[in-house]
Every structure is written in structure tokens, then in C-alpha cells.
Amino acid sequence: MPPLERHALLRPISREHHEGLLFCWQIRKALTDGLDPKVQHRIAVEFYHRHLLPHFGIEEEAVFPVLGAHDQLVEQAISEHRRLTRRFLSTQDPARDLSCIEKELEAHIRFEERVLFPRIQAVATEEQLERIDRMHGLLAGH
């Protein structure tokens, strides 16, 4: 679903998905160009703390509760957050971790945009959408 079909109050989060896909593209390019995986992994960890962790936080605190903690799609999304977090914080094999991050983050974002967010948008109340937007504003610092 393109961002324009997204409810206005969910668009800031969909924009972050777009930034996440760009980040995946940058990793792919860095690996193809043969850049130092250790340095690239440090850059990825920075991206994780600055952008991804707050994004996961908003999703888990405000977006996913719309469907409830026992929803299967929500369970899948949360377990993917955990797996991605382990990949970002791993220090085992930077090249392999980056390659997994790139694939798993892209798949996670596409799952949220194509499957999870349309479901959430279909059932969310206006109050729930406003809460998501408010929380996003607070964490984004504006």
C-alpha cells in the first residue's frame, strides 16, 4: 500500500519504513562495493539506536496494541523485532550479520506495510490513531 493510502496519522511511521528500506539498500551497496564490514556494522548499530529502536518502541507501545498482544501478526512482528535486535547487537561476524540485517529488515518492513499496517488501519479507532501520532511526535522531538 503506498503511503498516500495510509491514514494521515500513520504516515510518519510509514515514512520511517521508507527510510529503513533506503538503509537496507545502503548496506547492500556497501557490501557489494567491498567496504569494511566492521565499519559498516558500527554505522548500522548507530542507525539501530537512533532510528530503529524508537520506531520499534512506538510500534510495540502504540501501534500493535490496536490488534492486541495475542494477534498472530503482532506476535510475528514482535519476534522479528527481537531477531533484528540480536543481529544489530551481535559482534560475531559483521559481514554475515549485515547481510542478514539487510534481508530481514527489508522483509520485516514489507510485511508491516503490506499486511500488518493495512489490518491495523482497518480496525483502529480515531483515538488510537491520535495516540500513535502523539507518541511519535514526542519521541521524534517535535
Query: What is the amino acid identity at position 103?
Result: K
Distance CA 63, CA 13 (A): 10
Q: Which residue has the cell 503506498?
A: 2
Least distance from Fe ion to the Cβ atom of residue 77, Å = 5
| Cβ contact 8:90 at 8 Å | no
Beta strands in 1-142 (DSSP E): none
Q: Is 113 in the site for Fe ion (CB under 5 A)?
A: no
Complex with Fe ion: residue 57 or 138, whichever CB lies closer: 57
Least distance from Fe ion to the Cβ atom of residue 108, Å = 6
3-state helix, strand, coil in the chain (%, to 5): 85, 0, 15
Contacts of residue 69, defined as CB under 8 A and 6 or more positions apart, other chains included, come to: 75
The 53-92 site mask, x for binding Fe ion (CB under 5 A), equals ------x---------------------------------
Q: Which listed residue (23, 40, 84, 112) binds Fe ion by CB under 5 A?
A: 112
For residue 104, give the DSSP letter.
H
Complex with Fe ion: residue 59 or 97, whichever CB lies closer: 59
Stretch of residues binding Fe ion (CB under 5 A), selected from 65-73, 83-91, 104-112, 133-141: 104-112
Least distance from Fe ion to the Cβ atom of residue 109, Å = 6
The site for Fe ion, by CB under 5 A, has a size of 2
Relative orientation angle of helices 94-111 and 11-32, to the nearest 10 degrees:
150
Least distance from Fe ion to the Cβ atom of residue 81, Å = 6
Residue ranges that bind Fe ion, judged by CB under 5 A? 59, 112
